[in-house]
Amino acid sequence: MNERSAEARVVEKIMEDLQKENGNTEEQLQTIEEIEADQKEQISVLGASDADNCSFPQGYCKRQALYACLTCAKDGQPAAMCLACSYNCHDDCELVELYTKRDFRCDCGTGKYHRKCKFDESKNHTNEKNRYDHNFDGKYCECLRPYPDPDCPEELKDDEMIQCIVCEDWWHSSCLKLTKEELDNDDNDEMICPRCLAKPELSFLRCYSISNADKESVSGDCTKPKNEPKSTSGSFFVEDFRLKICKCVDCMKLLTDAKVEFLIDFDDSVAAYEQKGIEAHKEEEKEADDQINNFLDKLDHNGQMEVAHGVAFMRQMMKEMFEKAQSSGGVITNEHTQDLKRKLAERTEEMKRRRLNHQF
């Protein structure tokens, strides 16, 4: 637990109170909801990855957030690093965000980059088990487009990218060759791409797909659906499909031969990883609350007054920022937050001056 998160929690609390007190215009609410959605996404992607320690000593991690560095890559060799290395060892570099991938060991400082790892300068391993694809060059999907996509073609403008749970490449929904009905199905949860399903050893997974209407199983002992739909498209699967995959001797052989045993491990899923992140964040919030309360308890009267004035000032400034934002369309822009930061910095300076004056 560091000071920054305690500070962030104070601001969050003030924001919550202010929202409750002032009520919100619809636009403002939307903006705050957007901020919260962004925050939630950040928490779920990064929450279960360690921002302060390189994951290298843990070896090949079950799942972690990964970043490729375009600045330090040696001779175009693909490589990626953990979250902590992206913050500490390559904070001034051009990074490609890879979201999360399974079974990967951090490449920072292992000779694939023109730079040592600040966490361990002696690293000189090659991570033989790491697998790389075009994502590590910042290209995604069968159409090999970048993301974000500056020259995005019109037909992909509103497209949502979906990660294949087998190869972990990201696909444009329109590149999956599915009908609009199949894409819009509310039960869609996990996706396997057309490229993976075209492999003979993986085609049996189509039996479990949402689009397979005939769920009659092979036998009493084998619960795998008998019917294997013929198709060249990608497929979606329901949320608990991993639990439904048959584990009879024959089916286990199918899974091991295709090297996809991870599919029957619920903890392998992005959903399980994200849940871990959310839980870690809740724990952190509680710790921060305790820390703030503890800190306030320990202050003498003058200290308590100073904090109370500081918080009141902050509230007032944030209130003004909300009001200003409201009068200009309800959206809090960079300009608003810069203005707030400037005022807070001015006040800090002012307090410093006052304290100095007291000394003389």
Long-range CB contacts for residues 247-256, cutoff 8 Å, separation at least 24: 248/221, 248/222, 248/223, 248/224, 250/222, 251/222, 251/224, 254/201, 254/204
The residue with tokens 């019917």 is 227
Q: Which of 61, 65, 68, 85 binds Zn ion (CB under 5 A)?
A: 85
Which one, 68 or 288, has the nearer CB to Zn ion? Answer: 68
Binding mask 264-303 vs Zn ion (x if CB under 5 A, - otherwise)?
A: ----------------------------------------
Q: What is the DSSP string of 149-197?
A: -TT--GGGTT--EEEBTTT--EEEGGGG---HHHHH-TT--EEE-HHHH
Neighbours of 50 (CB within 10 A): 16
- Give per-residue burial for 255-285: e unless 16+ CB within 10 Å, then b: beebebebbbeeebbbeebbebbeebbeebe
How many chain residues bind Zn ion (CB under 5 A)?
A: 27
State the minimum distance, in angstroms, from the CB of residue 125 to Zn ion.
Answer: 12
User: Binding of Zn ion at residue 263 (CB under 5 A)?
Assistant: no
User: Binding of Zn ion at residue 246 (CB under 5 A)?
Assistant: yes
User: Binding of Zn ion at residue 245 (CB under 5 A)?
Assistant: no
State the minimum distance, in angstroms, from the CB of residue 139 to Zn ion.
Answer: 10
Which one, 69 or 317, has the nearer CB to Zn ion? Answer: 69
State the minimum distance, in angstroms, from the CB of residue 56 to Zn ion.
Answer: 5
* C-alpha pair distances (Å), 62 with each of 52, 66, 273: 18, 12, 9
Which one, 175 or 263, has the nearer CB to Zn ion? Answer: 175
State the minimum distance, in angstroms, from the CB of residue 245 to Zn ion.
Answer: 8
Burial of 222 (0-12, 13-18, 19+ CB in 10 A): middle
| Residues between 149 and 208 with contacts to Zn ion, criterion CB under 5 A | 164, 166-167, 172, 175, 193, 196
How far is residue 329 CA from its own chain's centroid?
A: 30
Q: Which stretch binds Zn ion (CB under 5 A): 6-14, 42-50, 70-78, 200-208?
A: 70-78
Q: Which stretch binds Zn ion (CB under 5 A): 73-81, 176-184, 326-334, 341-349?
A: 73-81
**Element (H or E) spanning 100, and its range?**
strand 95-104
Contact 142, 175 (CB under 8 A): yes
Q: Which stretch binds Zn ion (CB under 5 A): 12-20, 65-73, 302-310, 346-354?
A: 65-73
Q: Which of 8, 15, 183, 222 binds Zn ion (CB under 5 A)?
A: 222
Q: Which of 6, 82, 178, 332 binds Zn ion (CB under 5 A)?
A: 82
Which one, 115 or 324, has the nearer CB to Zn ion? Answer: 115
Contact 51, 82 (CB under 8 A): no
| Residues between 97 and 116 with contacts to Zn ion, criterion CB under 5 A | 106, 108
Candidates 228, 223, 267; CA nearest to 245 is 223
Interacting residues with Zn ion (CB under 5 A): 54, 69, 71-72, 81-82, 85, 89-90, 93, 106, 108, 117, 141, 143, 164, 166-167, 172, 175, 193, 196, 222, 224, 246, 248, 251
